[in-house]
Amino acid sequence: MSARRWLRHLAHHLPIAIAGDDAEGVHQVRVAAGRIAVWLEMSGRAVLRSDLRAFRRVASPVRDADVLLERGPPDAFATRLRALRERERADMIAYLRCDRARALRQALTLLPPIPRDVAMEALPSFRDRVLRRGDALAGHPEPQDEDFHDLRRAVRKLRYALEWLGLAAAPVKALQQTFGDLNDLAVELRVLEETGAATELPEHARELRAGLVIAKREALAAWIQSRAGVAEIGGS
């Protein structure tokens, strides 16, 4: 299993992300970095994974602002989001153009492919992480936002691992989407409060809080419904 395809994907979308004319550029930089990080984990290599996390981390605030703007927020919030996006874009561009980021991309091209049997042996660890976090979430009397966030990340990594192996991932992808919808609401409420827009838009803040309660309930139900299928992934 070679990472060549996703390295090309990353290289293609980096200039688009830097140019800033198409929000998809930032999104695809994050997707490519996440998929390559899973590839590294499947190979058992710890090297370079923290650097790839930096790719995702520096692009995340820009992507969050793009997603929230696409949702059509009230004008007072949209104005703050655009200003926030420009500040975060400056930091992102500085990182994407730095020597460390260039060295990371070069180093990744030198890594050999992963034997399929090695990758298959890693699959249960991705599954078990989802099960642990899902069971912890379901067993918590008052799960916190971070509990949902941790499970969402584990589900995303399991999906990527399955897709690297060419295995069916549709049910896991659907679960990821449900948790992603919840995350979008949580991020919007957090940014609304952090930017001070919540005081100007109290009704919008109330709607988001109410929507978040419903979304958490739906995400938890989706996990409970999906658990048996996840447990079967990769054998015992």
Q: pLDDT by residue for the chain (236 residues), tens digit each?
A: 999 999 999 999 999 999 988 999 999 999 999 999 999 999 988 888 888 888 889 999 999 999 999 999 999 999 999 999 999 999 999 999 999 999 999 999 999 999 999 999 999 999 999 999 999 999 998 898 999 999 999 999 999 999 999 999 999 999 999 999 999 999 999 999 999 999 999 999 999 999 999 999 999 999 999 999 999 998 75
What is the distance between the alpha carbons of residues 54 and 87, in angstroms, rounded to a whole number?
Answer: 17
Token pair in block for residue 230:
């996840």
- Residue 217 Cα to chain centre, angstroms: 21
Between the CA of residue 27 and those of 40, 130, 148, 170, 178, what are the distances in Å? 20, 24, 21, 20, 18
Q: Return the ∠ at Cα 47 (arms to 157 and 18), rounded to 5°.
A: 70
Q: What is the DSSP letter of 44?
A: T
Q: For residue 235, what pLDDT is reported? A: 73
